[in-house]
Homo-oligomer: A and B are copies of this chain.
Amino acid sequence: MIKSLTRKQQEVFDFLLQNQDKFPHPPTLEELCACMGLKSRGSLHNHIKALINENLIEAPERKQRGIRLTNYAKEMINHSDDQSSLPFVGIIAAGKPIEAVENITYMAIPEQLKTQKPCYILKVKGDSMIEQGIYDGDWVIIEQRSYARNGEIVVALINKAEATLKFIEQYPHETLLIPANSAMEAMHYNPEQVEIQGVLVGQMRSYTKNH
């Protein structure tokens, strides 16, 4: 994904990273030249073009002082220390394995929707929890955990193959996975068939439908 930057390109990128706050507004090529010890805008511009190609910075055509880091670039450096964002890792559709997304992205999440423990985000496909207000296309925030109390909503892996989001009821010789959709039936398993991968702690939905 990240094609190798040349030495100078990396240098320019690092400089932009480290100084993104220091500039009240993005620098001009000339200013950047001065910082990097160059005498020619043209030379610098080549490096800028390379970084744009790599999707690390964006610079609206001809716009002055338009150089900005891409969200993509910010993620690369931020999410490690940014405790408010959680990784969006995949799509869960009842009866299938979790479909991992190609590029993990990070979403800012309010404190109220997560827990102290590690959490991650899935997108829900299907209507099996519709009566709990979890709709097709919603995001859910999942606390990573391998156990659950009865009545919690869990991400369960069945027979090490299919993942699903359901209410759980665990009894000595039986585990029930119960959808919140009266058109669907509860499913009965032996406890060892069901592996809990996480517990639902939050849910989100966009009404602007571009996702």
A residues adjacent to B (C-beta < 8 A): 4-7, 10, 14, 24-25, 60, 63-66, 71, 84-85, 107-113, 115, 130, 133-135, 138-139, 153, 200-208, 211
| Residue of A7, A64, A133 contacting most chain B CB atoms (<10 Å) | A133
B211 and A207 within 8 A (CB): no
A206 and B201 within 8 A (CB): yes
In this complex, what residue of B is CB-closest to A131? B133
Smallest CB–CB gap between A67 and chain B, Å?
11
B206 and A200 within 8 A (CB): no
Q: Give the complex CA separation of A172 and B174 in angstroms.
A: 60
Smallest CB–CB gap between A58 and chain B, Å?
11
Smallest CB–CB gap between A47 and chain B, Å?
14
Copies in the complex: 2
A4 and B208 within 8 A (CB): no
In this complex, what residue of B is CB-closest to A68? B2
Smallest CB–CB gap between A80 and chain B, Å?
10
In this complex, what residue of B is CB-closest to A134? B133
A204 and B113 within 8 A (CB): yes
Question: Which B residues touch A71, using CB under 8 A?
Answer: 111
Question: Which B residues touch A207, using CB under 8 A?
Answer: 153, 200-203
Question: Which B residues touch A130, using CB under 8 A?
Answer: 133
Smallest CB–CB gap between A83 and chain B, Å?
10
Q: Give the complex CA separation of A66 and B85 in angstroms.
A: 24
Smallest CB–CB gap between A53 and chain B, Å?
16
With A10-B24, A107-B112, A112-B206 given, name 18 new contacts (CB 8 A).
A4-B60, A4-B65, A7-B25, A71-B111, A85-B108, A85-B110, A107-B110, A107-B111, A108-B110, A110-B204, A113-B204, A115-B208, A133-B133, A133-B134, A133-B135, A202-B204, A203-B205, A204-B204
